[in-house]
Structure 1
Amino acid sequence: MAVVSIMNNQSRYRRPISRPDRLNESDGDLWLFQSPDSGRKFRDSDGSDNELALEDLVTCCVDGSSPHSCSLQTCERVTINVSGQYYETWASILNKHPTTLLGNPRKRIRFFDKDRGEYFFDRHRPTFESIFNYYQYGGKLRRPEPVPDDIFLRELDFYQIEKEKIELYKKEEGYVSEKMVLPENPCKRKIWLLMEYPETSFAAYVIAIVSVVITVLSIILFCVETVPWLSSHDCVNGKPNFADPYFILETLCTAWFTYEVFIRLFSCPSKIKYFKDFQNLVDITAVIPYYVTLSNLLSPDGCDGDSAGTSLAFLRVIRLVRIFKLTKHSAGLQVLILTFKASIEGLLLFLVALFVCILLFSSAIYFAELSQPDSQITSIPDAFWWAVITMEDLVTCCVDGSSPHSCSLQTCERVTINVSGQYYETWASILNKHPTTLLGNPRKRIRFFDKDRGEYFFDRHRPTFESIFNYYQYGGKLRRPEPVPDDIFLRELDFYQIEKEKIELYKKEEGYVSEKMVLPENPCKRKIWLLMEYPETSFAAYVIAIVSVVITVLSIILFCVETVPWLSSHDCVNGKPNFADPYFILETLCTAWFTYEVFIRLFSCPSKIKYFKDFQNLVDITAVIPYYVTLSNLLSPDGCDGDSAGTSLAFLRVIRLVRIFKLTKHSAGLQVLILTFKASIEGLLLFLVALFVCILLFSSAIYFAELSQPDSQITSIPDAFWWAVITMTTVGYGDKYPVGILGKIIGSIAALTGVLTLAIPVPIITENFNKFYAHKTGRVKQALIRYLVIKKSVVVWVGLVAYIAAY
């Protein structure tokens, strides 16, 4: 009689197929058996027999498309235990991938536990879920959303998944191949490393820097030579002007670019791949305009006005491709190109939808305005420009390797951990790598050991332990699961006694700000420092913070109001300082408070060096300097001279604007914003690089497109920068706009590109803001609670003293 147990998902252990003499009816599991007289039946724990089609039960042999001809007698069922999580499948399913660890019986046998009849792997559990599906459903790799890339790839390498499958997964995930293909010739190999891989040597890094500098210089020349009052002529008196500074600089730049082209072509590993590479085509295209221009100037009729002007204008446009040379040395631009390349289908869908909408609305507006005598829409194509600009404003609303241990089943002790009913299994040697933690120290964890069940039991938060368990398995890297709140996660880390430096590193990565209170050793200075720096420590400190905020706000209001013409006053009256001016009196009071804050903080601070390194303290010092400079200027003999006084005071008023940053000392919201932009600096720089490239492209394109228009408003490429910025940022002041058809097409593309470019930093800033806001508001609430407790105790003591005094 063939017997198999079908266990529920909560069971800890799976029994292998056996042939017992009688059925154990005391077990509450479902048992399938082959009865000689009644055919296929199943018996439940109540002892009742029921008819069952065996084919319905063996569909676990399915290979992803259709069930195979497998029976319980011919298929071996394999039980896999991954750190306490159990999986069962048919051996035939695994054996379809014979080169992998699980698919090769000889490879996987060393992980077999004879006593328990299972294969045990002390590996990452969430990743194995994907690997298990890989075997069941035709070898398709899908990374689970919460699993980091590095862990997923490490697990794929451990289970020896086929290289071509991993490469396919990397390609779908957008990985860039970093395989270094080198020439066989030693001399060419050295040259190729110098030109292509700046990270390989200092000389290669210097060459890369020189290339970037020359490329940027060439782009600047390209823009500056279009400015009318800075432009020069290629021909003077019918002869080429080889003494022109622009021509000399362009010759030097082109000489370097030509050198790069030939040296790369000489040393490249494959000539065919060289000409297929987009970067190399850019390098070649970047030098062609110079040589064509030079041959044109040296020809007999090269300085004829019409031919020279037409050819040179066209060649200047071609030189614009040099901006793409920057992508060779800019990781940010490479990321942008890969992003747009991977998003090409979505972008095409967006453009198709936009084209349909533009066509619909331009047609509708044309017929709607047809009967209006003063209508500006003369045709449907003419309405395209209106539709693009109108819809572009609407679109912006939507933008918003190896095993971790060398352990064998015979030499290592296996530990079972039960966390509120969720089981985990690992080797004791893995836990013992962190001897200062609760689980890593046998003496600490022994008090949680259940001798009857042979397991460690913890009545703790289960989702958090998944991350802590991975921390032990993968070198002490803490990653908070997405649904787990910060306070619970930190509380669990504290319970399991995770190393302090690891927790501090986690807090730093998560955007926590250090709350360590550094105090002076002197008792008197300590009290003063607490009063000035920590409003939550006492009621008096809270009052001082409120006063500081009020005076700062008053100072900012004065700064704004005194610029209103009908409310302004004069610093000097009849050639003498006007010390009776109300603005001067209020400014003096504000500055006196700011000066008091500076000196009292400087006197009581724990460290003078750290004091001057703190941005907030530098703001405090800068906030008082303008007043004293202004006062000394007014008290000087010629302080009330019109020109000198006006110039100096206007400059000093601008410096006073830094007082607004004093509010960050007492405003959690402003601190969150500063931390957000600080953490998002890489994303913002990437956005600025992308914006700069687009501005340069579109300003150059609009300049040459509008060059032949008599009423063009674009006089040079630098002049077109303003138009490009206003168009791409969807502001559209309307002071500059294209006139010609080609210019309007370029303007439409610029507006649409601006919408996509503006979307780059949004998710980065949003993610960091949410992270910092959650941390900061939590601390503010705690500080408010502490303050209310302090305030309540103060009120109680005051009431008690008043009661005693009264009686």
Structure 2
Amino acid sequence: MTQDEIISLNIGGSAFKCRASLFRNQSPNAKLAHFVDCPHEARLLMCDSYFQATGEYFFERSAHLFKSIYQMYVNGGLHRPMDVCEFEFSNELAYWGISEGEMSHCCIPRRHHQLGEVPSIDEFNRKPLDPNSETWRQRIFRFCEGDGTLGSTIFTFLSICFVLISVLGLVLGSVQEFQVLIRTSQQNDSTMQLLNQSEAAIVNEITEFNEEQIIWEPHPFFTYLETTCIIWFSIEYFLRFSVAPRRCQFMFQLMNIVDLIAIIPFYLEMFLALCGFDVESLSNIKGAFLVVRILRVLRVVRILKLGRYSSGMRTFALTLRSSARQLGMMGMVLFTGVIFFSTLLYFVEKDEPQTPFTSIPAAFWWAIVTMSTVGYGDYVPVTIPGKLIASGAILSGVLVLALPITIIVDNFMKVSGSFHSGVFGQGAAFSMPQRNPSVRSQRPGSHPIQNDIQKKNNNNLTQSNSYQKC
């Protein structure tokens, strides 16, 4: 088979001819790219029939839909016909093994925007006809987004490992067994002094200082570990930013905001240290204590970085966005119920001795816990009218929470089906394995040539081996 062999296809009765090299270069992972690399016998197993007189491989598909795919191979741009349903066209692309990432920006399905998904597919994500025409920015961009190569897979794996290591270090650093004792002395302005004495000596030393002067801090190993992870996160973020085709749009995408928030606290603490402010000493300043707490809480945002590589987390996020209207309705009804039942319970229970319901806002916690059917039991009414009000709150909470569930589950099924069928493109590492839609099940005796091939093969194993060799 020559590089410029002409492949003759018959799609639903319409003839299409194209050079084999175009199928390989334009979309190398698609069905037709594998089709042209297979020998003639294997091609017969992939198509629906073969016209020996004209040398055409027949596929029982819509010729109207295939015209857009044929134009993509010839001209390099994939456009959806305006008279074709989006889901129908997506199913056709799935059959031919073509990702919607190949689609031109003007024809990106509207459901991406309806579900709040900002596609990262643009001119950098489409593979050109000539691989040598890619710029270095395009190559790096495709590498970072996960183009399926070995290097890109290793890069993604390392990113996931650094996220997990960073979160694990944050968690273990809060365990006292992995902490060291640091104390501050009012007589010494150098403030920090690491104690290396034995535990018995530490207990004796503690008695000489106030409790407020004793501080447990994570072991220095976790500081070095966090610094290493932050260096990797910083390199990854600025690498993505430097090669992004639209940097302004890049900065406002959700996952990129998460990446930025994950590294900001580290550099802000470093900046304060360079300015002569210690983070622990700031905790004693009124107002600065809240800032210190926020900086430390923001570290946990790193766990959300896994959403870039987890198809399950992305599906869940898209489900929440598509169900925003139902969730908003549920929140509004729940808020109304909390106000209503808190007010009733306050006026019924306020005159009871040692009542915890001293005001309407004080009853908010009870109303939320009761209507969500959690029922901690820390605050309970003692009067009969109060118990009746609590019963009404429980029944109302069950109705409020149960009604939107069916709608949310339905949205989840739609989003999950669209996501795993390739509607939202590629790029999620470790996604759920899928059946290859490009290989249709073959029925024995579908055409005479296949009967001859099956007679020559003694069993189905020989047929599968001949297909795998291609």
Q: Which interval holds the TM-score relative to the shorter structure?
A: 0.5 to 0.7
- Which of 706, 729, 734 is equivalent to 2:349? 706
Change (3 A) 1:486 1:785: farther
Partners in 1 of 2:341 and 2:115 — Cα distance?
Answer: 39
- Which of 630, 634, 652 is equivalent to 2:295? 652
Shift of 1:593: 0.5
The equivalences for 1:321-340 within 5 A come to none
Q: Which residue of 1 aligns with 2:330?
A: 687
The equivalences for 1:315-464 within 5 A come to none
Q: Which residue of 1 aligns with 2:76?
A: none
* Residue deviations 1:538-561 (CA, integer Å, cap 9, x gap): 110111111011101111112222
Q: Which residue of 2 aligns with 1:623?
A: 262
Q: Which residue of 2 aligns with 1:36?
A: none
Partners in 2 of 1:549 and 1:589 — Cα distance?
Answer: 14
- Which of 519, 544, 565 is equivalent to 2:176? 565
Q: Which residue of 2 aligns with 1:610?
A: 249
What amino acid does structure 1 have at the position aligned with 2:173?
E
Change (3 A) 1:689 1:638: closer
- Which of 530, 546, 554 is equivalent to 2:142? 530
Partners in 2 of 1:727 and 1:754 — Cα distance?
Answer: 7
Find out whether 1:774 has 2:378 as its counterpart: no
Q: Which residue of 2 aligns with 1:301?
A: none
Larger radius of gyration: 1
Give the conservation status (yes or no) of the 8 Å contact 1:528–1:604.
yes
Partners in 2 of 1:608 and 1:773 — Cα distance?
Answer: 29
Change (3 A) 1:577 1:670: farther
Aligned to 2:378, the other structure's residue is in SS state coil
Shift of 1:754: 0.7
* Residue deviations 1:582-638 (CA, integer Å, cap 9, x gap): 111101101110111122122222122122122222222221121122223334445
Change (3 A) 1:603 1:688: same
- Which of 260, 275, 278 is equivalent to 1:639? 278
Q: Which runs of 5+ in 2 are unaligned?
A: 1-11, 13-58, 66-81, 99-103, 126-132, 185-189, 195-217, 434-470
Give the conservation status (yes or no) of the 8 Å contact 1:727–1:747.
yes
Change (3 A) 1:736 1:635: same
Q: Which residue of 2 aligns with 1:346?
A: none
Change (3 A) 1:583 1:755: same
The equivalences for 1:125-524 within 5 A come to 478=85, 487=91, 504-505=109-110, 514=119, 516-519=121-124, 523-524=135-136
* Residue deviations 1:308-329 (CA, integer Å, cap 9, x gap): xxxxxxxxxxxxxxxxxxxxxx
Partners in 2 of 1:757 and 1:737 — Cα distance?
Answer: 21
Partners in 2 of 1:615 and 1:510 — Cα distance?
Answer: 13
* Residue deviations 1:276-298 (CA, integer Å, cap 9, x gap): xxxxxxxxxxxxxxxxxxxxxxx
Moved more, 742-751 or 557-566: 557-566
Shift of 1:566: 2.9
Partners in 2 of 1:485 and 1:640 — Cα distance?
Answer: 56
Change (3 A) 1:640 1:770: closer
Q: Which runs of 5+ in 1 are unaligned?
A: 1-418, 420-457, 465-474, 789-807
Give the conservation status (yes or no) of the 8 Å contact 2:349–2:381.
yes
Change (3 A) 1:486 1:778: same
Q: Which residue of 2 aligns with 1:675?
A: 318
What amino acid does structure 2 have at the position aligned with 1:631?
M
Partners in 1 of 2:236 and 2:405 — Cα distance?
Answer: 38
What amino acid does structure 1 have at the position aligned with 2:267?
Y
Aligned-pair RMSD on alpha carbons?
Answer: 4.0
Partners in 2 of 1:522 and 1:503 — Cα distance?
Answer: 22
* Residue deviations 1:674-725 (CA, integer Å, cap 9, x gap): 1111111111110011101111111111112223433433111111111111
TM-score, normalised via structure 1 length: 0.34
Q: Which residue of 2 aligns with 1:763?
A: 406
Q: Which residue of 1 aligns with 2:151?
A: 540
Change (3 A) 1:770 1:782: same
What amino acid does structure 2 have at the position aligned with 1:600?
L
What amino acid does structure 2 have at the position aligned with 1:530?
R
Q: Which residue of 2 aligns with 1:108?
A: none
What amino acid does structure 1 have at the position aligned with 2:91?
D
What amino acid does structure 2 have at the position aligned with 1:523?
T
Change (3 A) 1:502 1:524: closer
What amino acid does structure 2 have at the position aligned with 1:681?
A
Shift of 1:514: 4.0
Shift of 1:671: 0.8
Matched positions, count? 310
Partners in 1 of 2:115 and 2:234 — Cα distance?
Answer: 36
Change (3 A) 1:633 1:589: same
Change (3 A) 1:557 1:510: closer
Q: Which residue of 2 aligns with 1:121?
A: none
Find out whether 1:549 has 2:160 as its counterpart: yes
Give the conservation status (yes or no) of the 8 Å contact 2:315–2:419.
yes
Q: Percent identity?
A: 29
Partners in 2 of 1:538 and 1:558 — Cα distance?
Answer: 30
Change (3 A) 1:632 1:575: farther
Change (3 A) 1:569 1:623: farther
Change (3 A) 1:588 1:693: same
Aligned to 1:537, the other structure's residue is in SS state coil
Moved more, 520-529 or 652-661: 520-529
Partners in 1 of 2:251 and 2:324 — Cα distance?
Answer: 24
* Residue deviations 1:24-82 (CA, integer Å, cap 9, x gap): xxxxxxxxxxxxxxxxxxxxxxxxxxxxxxxxxxxxxxxxxxxxxxxxxxxxxxxxxxx
Shift of 1:459: 6.6
- Structure number with the bigger relative contact order (C-alpha 8 A, sep ≥ 6) is 2
Partners in 2 of 1:750 and 1:559 — Cα distance?
Answer: 39
What amino acid does structure 1 have at the position aligned with 2:165?
L
- Which of 226, 245, 253 is equivalent to 1:587? 226
Give the conservation status (yes or no) of the 8 Å contact 2:163–2:229.
yes
Partners in 1 of 2:353 and 2:430 — Cα distance?
Answer: 70
Change (3 A) 1:763 1:479: farther
Give the conservation status (yes or no) of the 8 Å contact 2:279–2:292.
no
Give the conservation status (yes or no) of the 8 Å contact 2:310–2:430.
no
Partners in 1 of 2:116 and 2:182 — Cα distance?
Answer: 47
Aligned to 2:164, the other structure's residue is in SS state helix
Change (3 A) 1:582 1:500: closer
Shift of 1:763: 1.6
Give the conservation status (yes or no) of the 8 Å contact 1:699–1:720.
yes
* Residue deviations 1:361-418 (CA, integer Å, cap 9, x gap): xxxxxxxxxxxxxxxxxxxxxxxxxxxxxxxxxxxxxxxxxxxxxxxxxxxxxxxxxx
What amino acid does structure 2 have at the position aligned with 1:516?
I
What amino acid does structure 2 have at the position aligned with 1:718?
P
Shift of 1:518: 3.5
Partners in 1 of 2:237 and 2:124 — Cα distance?
Answer: 17
Give the conservation status (yes or no) of the 8 Å contact 1:619–1:661.
yes
Give the conservation status (yes or no) of the 8 Å contact 1:476–1:502.
no
Give the conservation status (yes or no) of the 8 Å contact 1:714–1:720.
yes
Q: Which residue of 2 aligns with 1:753?
A: 396
Give the conservation status (yes or no) of the 8 Å contact 1:702–1:743.
yes
Q: Which residue of 1 aligns with 2:378?
A: 735
Moved more, 656-665 or 513-522: 513-522
What amino acid does structure 2 have at the position aligned with 1:628?
Y
Change (3 A) 1:619 1:509: closer
